[in-house]
Structure 1
Amino acid sequence: MIDDLFPLALDCGISPERFWDLSIPDIIDIVECSRRQEERKVKHELMNLHFLARDIGQFTAAAIQGSDKVKIMELWDFFPDLFEREHEETKKKIQEKQLAEYKARFNDFVIRHNHARA
């Protein structure tokens, strides 16, 4: 049993000196903790790759089918609580841009209308 734990403990970052000072349950706990951390790391990396693939697919579909036919999902669509502030900021920037465009079109209309009357 202890011979099987030694290589695992070394892989988990336990030095040989510390290994011999620890009890078997402590070593098992450290090895299991290391395994769980590695599992979380792998899951996180897979989630990142999944979202990257999904984004590439969405933007490719938008380019092929036209952007009006494909709804581009944002991070806040998947994690609304986590990205609530960013979503609000983006909505505000979009509204400001739309207002500026509306004002520019209206000013252009006023100038053309006044010029036509003169």
Structure 2
Amino acid sequence: MIGDLYPHALDCGISPERFWELSIPDIIDTMESFRRQEERKAKHELMNLHFLARDIGQFTTVAIQGSDKVKVMELWDFFPELFGRDHEETEKKIQEKQLAEYKARFNDFAIRHNHARAGGEN
């Protein structure tokens, strides 16, 4: 039994010295912990690849069909509990930018309108 565990324990990062100091249940617990950590890493990597593929697909669709026909999902749409604050800050900046653009267009319109009312030429 212990001879069967030894190569697997080494693969799990347990040093030979540490292996011989641990009891069999401790070795098994350490190996199971290593397996769970590796599984979490693999899931995390697969999630990253999945979201990257979805982003590429979304932006390809936007390029082909036009931005008004496709809703582009942001990271906070998938993970609102993690990125809620970032979403709020980004939305606030977008609204501030849109308001500034609206004010600039309105001022431009007012200047052109007043100039035309005064009988000015272009």
TM-score (norm 2): 0.94
Which 4+ runs in 1 deviate beyond 4 A?
A: none
Deviations 1:26-64 (A, max 9, x none): 000000000000000000000000000000000000000
Structure 2: gaps of 5 or more residues:
none
Q: Which residue is equivalent to 2:19?
A: 19
Tell me the SS of whatever aligns to 1:82.
helix
Q: Which residue is equivalent to 2:99?
A: 99
What is the CA–CA distance in structure 2 between the aligned matches of 1:18 and 1:82, rounded to whole Å? 38
RMSD over equivalenced CA pairs, Å = 0.7
* Identity rate, percent: 86
Q: Which residue is equivalent to 1:111?
A: 111
Tell me the SS of whatever aligns to 1:70.
coil
Q: Which residue is equivalent to 2:51?
A: 51
Report the residue type matching 1:51 in the other structure: F
Deviations 1:59-109 (A, max 9, x none): 000000111101100111111111110000111011001101110111001
What is the CA–CA distance in structure 1 between the aligned matches of 2:16 and 2:43, rounded to whole Å? 30
How much does 1:15 deviate?
Answer: 1.2
What is the CA–CA distance in structure 2 between the aligned matches of 1:60 and 1:47, rounded to whole Å? 20
